[in-house]
Amino acid sequence: MNIAILFGGSSYEHEISIVSAITMKKVLKKSQITYIFVDANREFWLIDRDKINSKLFSSGEYKKGRKLTLKKGGFFTEGMFGSKQVGFDVALNLIHGRDGEDGKIASLMGFFDIPYISPRIEASVLSYNKLYTKFLAQSLGVKTVPYEHLSKSDPRTIKTPLPAIIKPVRLGSSIGVSIVRDESELAYALDVAFEFDNDVIIEPFIEGVKEYNQAGCYTDRWELSIIEEPHKEEFLDFEKKYMDFSRDSQLLAADISPELTQKIQETFKRIYDPLFRGSIIRCDFFVVNDEVMLNEINPIPGSMANYLFEDFEAMIWRLAKSLPKEEKIAVDYQYIHSIQSAKGKA
Amino acid sequence: MNIAILFGGSSYEHEISIVSAITMKKVLKKSQITYIFVDANREFWLIDRDKINSKLFSSGEYKKGRKLTLKKGGFFTEGMFGSKQVGFDVALNLIHGRDGEDGKIASLMGFFDIPYISPRIEASVLSYNKLYTKFLAQSLGVKTVPYEHLSKSDPRTIKTPLPAIIKPVRLGSSIGVSIVRDESELAYALDVAFEFDNDVIIEPFIEGVKEYNQAGCYTDRWELSIIEEPHKEEFLDFEKKYMDFSRDSQLLAADISPELTQKIQETFKRIYDPLFRGSIIRCDFFVVNDEVMLNEINPIPGSMANYLFEDFEAMIWRLAKSLPKEEKIAVDYQYIHSIQSAKGKA
C-alpha cells in the first residue's frame, strides 16, 4: 500500500508535525510512503522519502523539489507536457493543530475526492474546539470535568475555584495552557491564553488526578490500543510533548482493573462511533472515584499514537479499506427542466 | 467591486443555487460579477456573466467554457503560457446545502487565502447540522423547540407526542422533512428522512405557530433586515421554496410590536456574534407566548435574503471590507533548530 503522508501546515504545531511525519518512516516499514509537505504558506511539495529530515524544512531546501497542485482526484505535478498525478492509495492527515485538526484538510480531501485517514469535517470541528467537545460529550452522556467559558471581550473574572487550569479552546499540545494556583496569577494566565485564541475554558485543576489515554479506530472491527497511563507531570509542556511525537516503540499497558478498562473502552467507543469513522484518535480520560471523564480528544495524535498499538501498520491498512464514503448526489436538472417547460407554456 | 459568485456544488440544492446565482445579477447592479460554477463533479468553471441562464447548466454546455484550478490566492485558468489568475475582490459563497453550508467551501477559501463572504468552518458545521444547532443555542442561552435525536441504527420509536415533524439533521430546503399526524405515518416518514441522512431530529409540530425570519450581518455596524413573517403553509416544500431563491423585490416588514422586534433582534445578535462574522445569515424563529425560540439557522439563505434589506448591495460592499482575518502563524523552526543543536552536542 502506498500511503501519502500530509504534514506541516499553517499551524503552531507545524514543526512537531514534521517530527511525527519522519517518525512514520520507522513505523510504516512495509508500506510505500509518499511525503506531501504543506509549507507554512500552504503550498504543497512532494518530498523524497530518502531525503526527508528536519533540516530539509528548516533550511527551506524543500523548495527545490516539486510543487504540487490539488485537483479533482489527487495531487498533480505541472510540467511542460501537462499535469501528472502523484500516485498513492490513501492520504494520512498528520497535520497537528490548525489546518489538520480544524477541518480544512478533511474538507480539501473530501471535496477533491481523495481517500483519506483523518477525522471528517464535523468530527474535526467538534474535537478541535474544547468548548464544542464539551457539548459533544454532554450529548453522548459522557462526563467531563466541569468548566466555564470566557471570551476575549468578557470581564476577566472566573467562578472556578483555584487551582484552575486555563486553556485556549482551539489549540493542542498544551500551547497557551497555564495552571493558576493563586489569584495573582490569573490575569497573566488569561493574557497568555488569549494570545492564542479568542475563547478560553477554565476547569478546576484536580491535584493528583489519574489520567489514562485510549487510542483506537473502527475498521471492519473495533481496534483499541492498550490503555496508557501518561507520565505524571503537572501537564506536558511543549518540549516534553515533543518527545511524544517522535515515539515509535511500544509501551506497557496501564495496570488497571478489568472493570476500569472496560469502562474506558466503552466510553471511547461511544465518543468514536460514528462521528470519528475514518480516523485514529486518542481520547484522554480522567478517572475520579471510578468515574471516567473525558478530558480531551486528540483528533490527530502525535505520531498517530502508533506506540500504543501492537501492529499499527496492519491496522492502517485495514482502516484504508474501511473509510466512510460520502454519499453520491445525482444532479439531473429536473427542477430547471420543469421551470423551463413552465416558462415555455406561459 | 468585483464579486465572484460561487454556485452549484455537489448538493441536493445544486439547482436552486443556480437560481440564486442568476437572481444576483438583478440584485448586484453596480458590481462586476465573476461567476464561478462548481459542477456536480466539483470542477470549477468560469461562466460568462452575459451568457448565464439555467439552460447553460442543464444542457452541459458550460463545459465548453474555461475550467479553473484553485491555488494559493485564487482561481486560475491554465493555458499554453502558464496559468492566469481570475481577478476579483471577494468571493460570495452561494452554494446551498452540501459543500457550501457544511464547511467545505469555507475551508477551501480559508486554506487558499481567498477573501470570502460565507460562514466560516465552525459556523458552517454548527448550523448545517440541526442537532449541533441545538447545542449551540443551548450554550448561548437561546431557547429552541424541544427535540429528540434518532440515528439510523436506533429503534424506530419516538417519545415526542404527535403531531411531530421529522427532519434529517443535515439538509436544507425541507428535503426529507415530513409532518407525522398519525402513528401509522411514522415508519414511512422516518424511512424518507433516513434516505437523506443517518441522523434525524424529531420535534413537536406546533399548530399555527407564529414564525418570523430575521436576516443580517455585522460589517462595521449591525445590519439587520426587516423581520419577515413567511407565508403560512404547513411548511415550505421544495417547489415553493424554489420561488424564494429567485426573489429580488423587497418585502414588507411583519406587523409586530416594538418589544417583540427587539427580542428577535437581540436573539439574532446573540447567535450571530462572533461565530458568524463574515457571513449574511437568516435565522428563523418561532414565537410562542411571546417567547422567541430559534427554529433554524440558514447559513446561506436563498438569494442571500436580499429582498429583506433596503440596500443589499451596499451592505455586501461593506461586509467585503469587514471580513474576519485568520491569524498569521509564523513558523521559525526554532524547535527543530534546538533539536539539531542538541543532537550535534550529543
A330 interaction partners in chain B (CB closer than 8 Å)? 40
pLDDT digits (tens, 9 = 90+) for B286-327: 999 889 999 999 999 989 999 999 999 999 999 999 999 998
Interface size A-B, in CB pairs within 8 Å, comes to 145
Q: What pLDDT, on a 0 to 100 scale, did the predictor assign at position A52?
A: 95
CB contact under 8 A, B108 and A111: yes
Q: What are the b/e assignments for A259-290, b being 16+ CB within 10 Å?
A: ebbebbbebbeebbeebbbbbbbbbbbbbeee
Residue B250 has phi, psi (to 5 degrees) of -70, 145
Per DSSP, B163 falls in state S
Residue type for position A253: A
For residues B31 and B42, what is the distance between their CA atoms, to the nearest angstrom? 26
* B16 lies within 8 A of chain A by CB: yes
* B13 lies within 8 A of chain A by CB: no
The second-level CATH assignment, the architecture, of B146-204 is 2-Layer Sandwich (3.30)
Given B69, B242, B340, which is nearest A55 (Cβ)?
Answer: B340
Residue B159, burial from CB neighbour count under 10 angstroms (0-12, 13-18, 19+): exposed
CB contact under 8 A, B111 and A122: no
CB contact under 8 A, B121 and A121: yes
CB contact under 8 A, A72 and B113: no
Assess whether pLDDT exceeds 60 at residue B221.
yes
Instruction: Give the residues of chain A that fall short of pLDDT 50.
Output: 234, 345-346
* B336 lies within 8 A of chain A by CB: yes
pLDDT digits (tens, 9 = 90+) for B51-70: 999 999 999 999 998 999 99
Q: What pLDDT, on a 0 to 100 scale, did the predictor assign at position B253?
A: 86
A127 interaction partners in chain B (CB closer than 8 Å)? none
CB contact under 8 A, B131 and A139: yes
Say which CATH class B125-143+207-320 falls into.
alpha beta
* A104 lies within 8 A of chain B by CB: yes
For residues A168 and A195, what is the distance between their CA atoms, to the nearest angstrom? 9
Domain residue ranges in chain B: 2-118, 125-143+207-320, 146-204
pLDDT, chain B, mean:
91
* B341 lies within 8 A of chain A by CB: no
B 166-205 residues inside an 8 A Cβ radius of A: 198
CB contact under 8 A, B72 and A107: no
B67-74, Cβ contacts within 8 angstroms, sequence gap of 24 or more: B67/B43, B68/B36, B68/B44, B69/A69, B69/A71, B69/B44, B70/A70, B70/B44, B70/B108, B70/B112, B71/A69, B71/B112, B72/A41, B72/A42, B72/A43, B72/B112, B72/B113, B73/B112, B73/B113, B73/B114, B74/B112, B74/B114
Q: In a mutagenesis test of the A interface, which of B6, B7, B10, B340 is the best target, namely the one with the most A β-carbons within 10 Å?
A: B10
Per DSSP, B254 falls in state P
The second-level CATH assignment, the architecture, of A2-118 is 3-Layer(aba) Sandwich (3.40)
Given A98, A107, A330, which is nearest B108 (Cβ)?
Answer: A107
For residues B174 and B241, what is the distance between their CA atoms, to the nearest angstrom? 8
Q: What's the pTM value of the predicted model, to 2 decimals?
A: 0.93
CB contact under 8 A, A330 and B40: yes
pLDDT digits (tens, 9 = 90+) for B107-150: 999 999 999 999 999 999 999 999 999 999 988 999 999 999 99
ipTM for the complex shown: 0.92
How far off is chain B from A79, nearest CA to CA, in Å?
10
Q: Name the one residue in this structure whose C-alpha cell is 491496522.
A: A315
Residue of B nearest to A13 (CA): B331
pLDDT digits (tens, 9 = 90+) for A201-257: 999 998 889 999 999 999 999 999 999 998 755 455 555 656 666 776 667 788 999
How far off is chain A from B56, nearest CA to CA, in Å?
11
A198 interaction partners in chain B (CB closer than 8 Å)? 274
Given B54, B111, B122, which is nearest A336 (Cβ)?
Answer: B54
Q: What pLDDT, on a 0 to 100 scale, did the predictor assign at position B234?
A: 47
CB contact under 8 A, A43 and B72: yes
A242 interaction partners in chain B (CB closer than 8 Å)? 335, 339
pLDDT digits (tens, 9 = 90+) for B65-100: 899 999 999 999 987 778 899 999 999 999 999 999
The second-level CATH assignment, the architecture, of A125-143+208-320 is 2-Layer Sandwich (3.30)
User: What angle do helix axes B334-345 and A14-27 make, rounded to 10 degrees?
Assistant: 50
Q: What pLDDT, on a 0 to 100 scale, did the predictor assign at position A234?
A: 47
**Pick the residue with more confidence: A171 or B106?**
B106
Across residues B199-225, what is the average pLDDT? 95
Residue of B nearest to A19 (CA): B336
For residues B255 and B292, what is the distance between their CA atoms, to the nearest angstrom? 16
C-beta separation of B115 from B320 below 8 A: yes
Q: What pLDDT, on a 0 to 100 scale, did the predictor assign at position B154?
A: 87
